[in-house]
Structure 1
Amino acid sequence: MDARDSGVPPGGHALESAIEEFLESGNKAGNYRDALERVLGDWRERLERRGVRTVEAVTKRHMAEYAKALSGRVTSGDRNADGGISAATAWTYYDYVSAFLSYCVRWDWLEENPAQKGVALEELPPRPKKRSGDQQFWSPDDRNRLLRYADRRAHDAVEAKGSGALEELRDRALVYVLAYSGVRGGEILSDPRDDRRNGLRWGDVDLENSQLLVLGKNQHADEEVQLPRQAHSPIERLERALDPPSAEWPVFVTNHAPSLYATLPDDVDPSTGDPLTLHRERGTVPPSLSTNGGRSVLKRLCEDADIDVDGGYLKPHGARRGVGEAVYREHGAAAAQRVLRHADPRTTSEMYAHIEASELAEEVSEVFESE
């Protein structure tokens, strides 16, 4: 678009095109990119209604007004109502905009980031602080109760249905992989908002070397995830029952019939067989269980096993934190960082700061015991 036609002053950088460049930079993809695009789009439209169309025209006053508007949404009442957000969400939105403006500084479109000026930051609500120990993690007791229930459920289903116990065997394998690998749910299940995240495939499972290959959080394909031997048997049992005809089949196949039939060729008559059989006959690949589906599986298993965690259920990311906590306590921060694949060791330290504080308290107690 010509600058003269867009109302952008000569030499200025249009907000719309600058935001597009920012979104295309780095490894922004999936849900993170969607959120960035939505928040930055709303922010840009807000500025354009005030006559601001270029990066260079954004000031600390504009950012203070944006921060004040976010604070107003926090204090407006019920956050479930239209427009209401939490303080954490307000900070997330503001940080997204600040990240874009920092990008503009790096390209010399701005001399400094107006979002980081004190007058603007003062308009935001207090940044919520969470203690590391407050986040959900699968405790050893919760983990064992869930695994034992999944074992009994799968055993009973196999006795009743034989190889037809696919759902129970799949759910058992899913629970074991989450409980022991430290993998993120989005790395092994499909995400309808990200075409590249289509679920773990059998070709990505290497039991001989005890590892999985996944698309990591940083968008690096073929990222190696450790898979302890505790998870091997449930995966092997699922593979025997499913008997995947190709390495491209997902490990955790969905059992949602409409989704299975929808991915078959148009000329297939659904009445001629069950969907997995039809996929085998046509040489097509069924879809994977989704991240939402995985959460539903865990919720249902916890309800059936009478496992209650502060009024909720054991969530996929809680399994990851539980793995990290066990490794951290046994082998220290460096080992936990490697298992969880944190690029920055500070992430691991912050996540398990409560453990370090507890251990330090014990050490200090011993120092003063002799007084």
Structure 2
Amino acid sequence: MIDDTTGQEPAARRLRSSFDRYLQDKGKGRGGEGGNYRRNAARELERFAEWAAGERGDDDWTGITPEEADHDPTFEDLDERVFREYARHLSGDRGLKQNTVQTYYAYISAWCGWCVNEGYLEAHYAQRASATAPLPDDDGRKPGDQQAWTPEQRHALTRHVDEQAREAIEAYTTLPDDVDSLDKQRARYAALKAARDRALVVILAYTAVRVGELLRDSDDPRRRGVRWEDISLEDGSMDVYRKKQQWDAASLPDPVISPLRSYRKLMDPPTERWPVFPTLDQRTLAEFVQEELADRGEPSEAIDERRGEYARDLLLALDEDIRPPSITTDGARSILQRLSTAAEIDIDHPKHDYLAPHGGRRGMGEVLVRAFGYTVAARYLDNSEEMVRERYSHIEAGELGDVATEALEEIDSVPQ
């Protein structure tokens, strides 16, 4: 529909006019502002809009609107042929893997279905057979979700962080009484950092908790990171906000308890609401400390003087109960990159040159399936047994292969 007064297509019919409302419906948290799905969908919708307007792709691609048209792409310009062309665009020689193409197209397809329900479109063009025909077959794998820590890698990493933590804690606790105050603070900070790294590694290695359930997700306000009030060392449990959008207890096996207990004693958090894994980023901590002390009525000169008494802002935050945020999931990846390099771990993976967080969970899944079977592993991993069987189908295939080999050997051994 063209506006008779302007000769332009009404803004409400342009593709981008629907994006904010769609993303709000799909987002998480207050106002639908958070969530990884929202962030990823927003990125792919913008790419689709740019492609539709002729701003992406080959130099001779002019978009989906007629050359004589003088308007941005609208819903009237969409049909199954458009989505077929976009499927071709994604499947082109851009270096994308088969499953990645499927994932990117799925974001656009989901938006198309939403547009039908909301009255923007008359039909779900993106799901028609002719539209999806150019898409490659899905190989059943999720991008970047195939690394699994081997027992050798797990042992190498946990041994490294244990040695680092022991040395740092011993260096701090054996300081002479007359040591300079700032030197003692530096030693305590080094011990806290090493103990934090060890606690993070053993939780990722042995609990199979998803890193997004453990740490802060900047795109989801409900995921603020595990606090000390969420952990019961006596019961061996930890409350986490699960992927299924509800709180649940995760088990803490024995290898996790001692490092956590040692770390907590060293930190001595002023309240139970302190994050178990606070950020150690200097700029972030400086901002938090200065803002909080200013809110408490401290003048800037007094704040500078107070900060000068401490080797690190984290130690001042502990003394003044200025609760910093938890590290983020990206922060955990940076930590594991640093530790994997320092431990000189041999890693052979097409995407990750370090031990990624999800690899700890997947590696623990391998251990559980092999030791106790799919049912027990599914309960520990907080997944359905069907999904666990699918993810770890190579184990069953290997076991069946052994059975077949044994059967063949028995048959071959029978005299003919």
Q: How far 1:106 sits from its partner (Å)?
A: 5.5
Matched residue, 2:280 = 255
Aligned equivalents of 1:19, 1:338: Cα separation in 2: 38
Matched residue, 2:328 = 290
Matched residue, 2:89 = 69
Instruction: Tell which deviates more after alignment, 173-182 or 293-302.
Output: 293-302
Contact 2:27 2:37 survives alignment (8 Å): no
Consecutive unaligned residues in structure 2, runs of 5 or more: 29-33, 54-62, 66-71, 174-186, 295-302, 412-416
Contact 1:47 1:53 survives alignment (8 Å): no
- Per-residue CA deviations over 1:44-102 (Å, capped at 9, x if unaligned) read 45446626423x76321010111122233xx14xx5xxxxx554433221011112223
The question of 1:362 aligning with 2:362 is answered: no
- Per-residue CA deviations over 1:166-185 (Å, capped at 9, x if unaligned) read 11111111111111110112
Matched residue, 1:174 = 200
C-alpha change, 1:30 and 1:145, in structure 2 (3 Å) is same
Q: How far 1:301 sits from its partner (Å)?
A: 2.1
Instruction: Tell which deviates more after alignment, 360-369 or 199-208.
Output: 360-369
Matched residue, 2:308 = 271
TM-score for both structures, normalised by structure 1: 0.84
Matched residue, 2:268 = 243
Contact 2:44 2:107 survives alignment (8 Å): yes
The question of 1:224 aligning with 2:229 is answered: no
Q: How far 1:189 sits from its partner (Å)?
A: 2.1
Aligned equivalents of 1:111, 1:360: Cα separation in 2: 50
Q: How far 1:320 sits from its partner (Å)?
A: 0.3
The question of 1:23 aligning with 2:34 is answered: no
Q: Is the partner of 2:270 in helix, strand or coil?
A: coil
Aligned equivalents of 1:210, 1:46: Cα separation in 2: 52
C-alpha change, 1:131 and 1:45, in structure 2 (3 Å) is closer
Q: Is the partner of 2:249 in helix, strand or coil?
A: strand
* Structure 2 counterpart of 1:36, from 41, 50, 59: 41
Q: Is the partner of 1:196 in helix, strand or coil?
A: strand
Q: Is the partner of 1:369 in helix, strand or coil?
A: helix
Instruction: Tell which deviates more after alignment, 205-214 or 39-48.
Output: 39-48
Q: In the alignment, residue 96 of structure 1 is paired with which amino acid? A: Y
Alignment of 1:1-371 (within 5 A): 7=9, 15-16=15-16, 18-25=18-25, 28=28, 29-44=34-49, 46-47=51-52, 50=65, 52-54=73-75, 58-72=78-92, 75-76=93-94, 85-105=96-116, 112-128=123-139, 130=141, 135-162=146-173, 164=188, 165-218=191-244, 220-266=245-291, 267=294, 268-269=303-304, 270-273=307-310, 274-310=312-348, 312-342=353-383, 344-371=384-411
TM-score for both structures, normalised by structure 2: 0.76
Q: Is the partner of 1:370 in helix, strand or coil?
A: helix
Q: How far 1:322 sits from its partner (Å)?
A: 0.8
Contact 1:181 1:320 survives alignment (8 Å): yes
Q: Is the partner of 1:308 in helix, strand or coil?
A: coil
Contact 2:149 2:363 survives alignment (8 Å): yes
Q: How far 1:209 sits from its partner (Å)?
A: 2.6
- Per-residue CA deviations over 1:122-173 (Å, capped at 9, x if unaligned) read 32345455499x9211112221222122211111111112271111111111
C-alpha change, 1:208 and 1:15, in structure 2 (3 Å) is farther
Aligned equivalents of 1:135, 1:197: Cα separation in 2: 24
Q: In the alignment, residue 185 of structure 1 is paired with which amino acid? A: V
Aligned equivalents of 1:61, 1:227: Cα separation in 2: 53
Rg comparison, structure with higher value:
2
Aligned equivalents of 1:210, 1:246: Cα separation in 2: 20
Contact 1:250 1:286 survives alignment (8 Å): yes
Q: How far 1:318 sits from its partner (Å)?
A: 0.3
C-alpha change, 1:194 and 1:316, in structure 2 (3 Å) is same
Q: Is the partner of 1:175 in helix, strand or coil?
A: helix
Q: In the alignment, residue 308 of structure 2 is paired with which amino acid? A: S
How many residues were matched structurally?
A: 354
C-alpha change, 1:107 and 1:330, in structure 2 (3 Å) is farther
Q: How far 1:235 sits from its partner (Å)?
A: 0.4
Aligned equivalents of 1:127, 1:364: Cα separation in 2: 29
Kindly, what percent of the aligned residue pairs are identical? 37
Aligned equivalents of 2:161, 2:319: Cα separation in 1: 31
Aligned equivalents of 1:290, 1:123: Cα separation in 2: 38
Contact 1:254 1:287 survives alignment (8 Å): yes
Report the RMSD for the aligned CA atoms in angstroms.
Answer: 3.0
Aligned equivalents of 1:255, 1:135: Cα separation in 2: 30
- Per-residue CA deviations over 1:266-286 (Å, capped at 9, x if unaligned) read 333232423123223433202
Consecutive unaligned residues in structure 1, runs of 5 or more: 80-84
Q: Is the partner of 2:223 in helix, strand or coil?
A: strand
Q: How far 1:316 sits from its partner (Å)?
A: 0.8
Instruction: Tell which deviates more after alignment, 326-335 or 315-324.
Output: 326-335
